[in-house]
Amino acid sequence: MSGTAELTARIGRQAGPDDGTWSTDPYAHALRTGQGPLYLRRADGWLLLLEIERWCAAPDAADLEVLRRCEGPVLDVGCGPGRLVAALSRAPSRGAGNCATSHNGAADDRRHAVALGIDVSEAAITRTITRGGTALHRSVFEPLPAEGHWGTVLLIDGNIGIGGDPQALLDRIAQLLAPGGLLIAETVPDPDVDEQALVHVTDARGAAGHPFPWARLGTSALLRHANRWRAVDQWTAGGRCFVALRSRSSRSRKSTAEPPKSTAVTSSQRAAKRSADRPVADA
């Protein structure tokens, strides 16, 4: 069995513990209905609109550009309702090369790309699987399949903010990637934004989820944190900003993706899903 086939066989659909951050209303309700409005709210009353409708729709042109750049097996961290994972799962596999959809977005009959989503929201995992993706109910800070063998890790829709500690998240992503692997992250439009805060999810009725730490980073700020990484590209599409990084490693890139031996699930969950930078109000 090839390394890719073995990875596919071992991923499965497992479940991990949940701290309730994204699994309870109003976030879970919005994912199930596919409708907002939904916001992140800071303690000072500042609000950030979460683009629920876009997350639940098919990938747009900006998303397809991200998928076109993916290499090898792809791990989507904070996959939400799974639009990227599902699209990758319909795409032809191209080994260590690009594994996105065809130019017109249509699937063909060739072997599918290996793509896995992870999210701490059970509602997000359910929706991802329903639309044809493979996903685990898991935090990025817990043990994961194929650590050290992923070709690409995605931190899209602002998921560079997961856990509220960009350096800790970057260190964790480096553990997950194969030598020379690719990180594609979406950043906020202001390149110098670099802030960490305690936030919670709220809807238009005022229903609120549990508070959790979050970060917002512009591209310049991310590059300051990523001193152990090499920037390979930056681009904008559809009003959204992206950066591609490779971890600095002297090890040669391996041609197969064999998962490590399983370990016990440990650590508390950290948060995993919101949107691009769109503040809408101040209290």
In a domain, 40, yes or no: no
Domain span at residue 270 reads 3-16+60-195+214-275
Closest CA to 14 of 145, 124, 112, 123: 145
Rounded to whole angstroms, the Cα distance separating 219 from 243 reads 7
Q: What is the mean pLDDT of each run of 10 residues along the chain (283 residues)?
A: 43 41 72 93 93 97 97 97 95 49 36 85 96 97 97 97 97 97 97 96 88 96 96 97 86 36 29 40 35
In a domain, 96, yes or no: yes
Q: What is the pLDDT of residue 93?
A: 55
Q: What is the pLDDT of residue 112?
A: 55
In a domain, 38, yes or no: no
In a domain, 52, yes or no: no
Q: What is the pLDDT of residue 252?
A: 36
User: What total number of domains does the chain contain?
Assistant: 1
In a domain, 42, yes or no: no
| pTM for this prediction | 0.78
Q: What is the pLDDT of residue 247?
A: 86
Q: What is the pLDDT of residue 197?
A: 95
Task: Tell me how many degrees the CA angle 278-280-283 measures, rounded to the nearest 5.
Answer: 135
In a domain, 25, yes or no: no
In a domain, 158, yes or no: yes
In a domain, 172, yes or no: yes
